[in-house]
A and B are shown apart, each in its own frame.
Chain A
Amino acid sequence: MPLVKAPSGAAAPGGGPARNTPNRDAVLADLTADTPDTRRAAARACRAFPDAVALIAKRLEEEEDTRVVEALVLNLVAIGGPAAAAALAPLLRSDRAGCRFAAAEALADMGPDALPFFDALIRDSDPQVRIMAAEIARGRVGGAVVQTLEHLLGMEEEINVCCAFIDVLAETGTADTAAVLTAVLDRLPEDQFLRFSVETALSRLPTD
């Protein structure tokens, strides 16, 4: 029979020797290595150093390889806490779209630790930041963000921001959200894309 049993040492996690804690300086230095594989390995290893969140977030701002970005984001979510959220929040202003979305995704996955930052970013003077902040509301930050989005939608002047809020509310809203959406159309009746967004959202909202 051509099937062979895998060596048990290689397949049994409990059977191998315990791994040493990685060398902090070497790992952090490897975050800027030339090869993506080395940077990704370092990005995975640096979870052992939760005090390095600022450095990890800085790498996220500069890193372009998707595989490394994913490892950095997962680290920041796993480390969690206000420090990690605080390190991620400024990245919503990054010039690089990949970085902005990675940071928003991480904050969305972070849960209640992201809430204070969401509350500030969703009221930012820069409409681009408000659009990215809306992405956080798709995540685990809690039901209160729906009320915040509904409240701010009632005052928002930028059409693109309105549409971003409506897009998220279509996923997260309740039956009560319908009245808020209808009110936006009454306030800004001329914009056809806004009308399309509202109608699409209304068709997706729960009805009871």
Chain B
Amino acid sequence: MAMPRTGGPSQPDAVTDEEFARFCEFIYRRTGLSYGASKRYFIDRRILERVERSGVSSVQSYLALLRFDSTGRELEEIINSLTVNETYFWREEYQFACLANSILPEVVRTKRRGEPVRIWSLPCSTGEEPYSIAMWLLENWADVDQYDVEIIASDIDTQVLAAARQGLYDARSVQRLPKWVLDRYFERPTSDRWRIVDSLRSSIEFTRINASDRAQMAKMTDIDVIFCRNMLIYFDDVSRREVADSMYSSLRPGGFVCLGHSESMSRISPLFAVRRFADAIVYQRPAR
């Protein structure tokens, strides 16, 4: 929640090198997100926006507010402004094809009767990915009626989680979807908006998770497939290894990780085996 602006002396219009370094170190410690000098303009803008909105008089005061704010609200606000949430439905759909054609048939081979298939979208951003997974499976996985499928969607950004739960999208988000998919899974509250139907929205469990927090990650267990696309590129080497280690623990033996097309688990962690399927290359926690 933003605090009211107090007026008083004029707001700062620049962030010093030292303030920038201290801020980046603080964010890295709390989230694993790593920002170098190339992101200076982006970061400075976000800091100055939050200085103004939080009503403090200087960047230094803002850093103190961040550090000592016991409610964690300001940290949440700045994380929300730093994270990138650009996505759309059926993005890199070849991985969804791989999920239905290759990964899930292998996963269910070792499932006991009544045991759910658990798929985790991390980060889920505004919901396009978990809803895409759901729609793709409903349309393309032949065995979808044979198993309970749980889709869990997580993000560090509370604002995008709220948007994901709402399930309301513009034309850009749905541009890749065929008309029959739009007709089947969306409502049209207005001419330029599409809303996911209630039955689909209510089937996804949305939850806030900071991927670099081992304690939070440790509570996610028995996952069969993790979609973790285009998140690790924002982490440094050590944080990537930590997140990979946590994902390994969250997966069942034999479980899979799908990364973004430009990412490679082989360069991050020795824990996973590479699996080359017809539709995509993914990574697997060895069964034993």
A6, B118: Cβ atoms under 8 Å? Answer: yes
- A179 on the B face (CB < 8 A): no
Bound together, the chains give a CA A14 to CA B216 distance in angstroms of 8
Partner of A67 from the list B200, B204, B248 (CB cut-off 8 Å) is: B248
Partner of B209 from the list A6, A13, A67, A140 (CB cut-off 8 Å) is: A13
Bound together, the chains give a CA A11 to CA B151 distance in angstroms of 10
Bound together, the chains give a CA A66 to CA B248 distance in angstroms of 12
B150, A67: Cβ atoms under 8 Å? Answer: no
Stretch from A71-79, A128-136, A159-167 that touches the partner: A71-79
B200, A1: Cβ atoms under 8 Å? Answer: yes
How close is B121's CB to chain A, nearest CB, in angstroms?
A: 11
Query: A1-B138, A44-B249, A67-B271 in contact; A11/B152 too (CB < 8 A)?
Result: yes
Bound together, the chains give a CA A67 to CA B269 distance in angstroms of 10
Interface readout for B231-275 with A: 1 if CB under 8 Å, 0 if not?
A: 000000110011001001100000000000000000001110000
A5, B205: Cβ atoms under 8 Å? Answer: yes
How close is B267's CB to chain A, nearest CB, in angstroms?
A: 13
Q: Which of B136-155 contact A (CB under 8 A)?
A: 137-138, 144-152
Q: Which residues of B contact A6 (CB under 8 A)?
A: 116, 118, 150-152, 205
B242, A74: Cβ atoms under 8 Å? Answer: yes
Q: Which of A10-37 contact B (CB under 8 A)?
A: 10-14, 16, 19
- B6 on the A face (CB < 8 A): no
Bound together, the chains give a CA A75 to CA B170 distance in angstroms of 44
Q: Which residues of B contact A63 (CB under 8 A)?
A: none
Bound together, the chains give a CA A2 to CA B148 distance in angstroms of 6
Bound together, the chains give a CA A103 to CA B25 distance in angstroms of 25
Bound together, the chains give a CA A53 to CA B220 distance in angstroms of 28
How close is A202's CB to chain B, nearest CB, in angstroms?
A: 25
B116, A78: Cβ atoms under 8 Å? Answer: no
Return the chain A residue nearest B215 by Cβ: A19
Q: Which residues of A contact B146 (CB under 8 A)?
A: 2
Bound together, the chains give a CA A2 to CA B119 distance in angstroms of 14
Partner of A70 from the list B118, B152, B204, B270 (CB cut-off 8 Å) is: B270
How close is B285's CB to chain A, nearest CB, in angstroms?
A: 9
Q: Which residues of B contact A139 (CB under 8 A)?
A: 237
B150, A109: Cβ atoms under 8 Å? Answer: no
- A4 on the B face (CB < 8 A): yes
Query: A3-B203, A6-B150 in contact; A74/B249 too (CB < 8 A)?
Result: no
- A8 on the B face (CB < 8 A): yes
B149, A70: Cβ atoms under 8 Å? Answer: no
Interface readout for A34-58 with B: 1 if CB under 8 Å, 0 if not?
A: 0000000000100100000000000
A-B contact pairs, 17 of them (CB 8 A): A1-B200, A3-B138, A3-B151, A3-B204, A4-B148, A5-B205, A6-B118, A11-B152, A11-B205, A12-B219, A13-B209, A13-B220, A44-B249, A47-B214, A66-B270, A71-B245, A77-B238
Given A13-B220, A74-B241, 9 further pairs, Cβ under 8 A: A2-B146, A2-B148, A3-B200, A5-B205, A6-B151, A10-B221, A67-B271, A74-B242, A140-B238
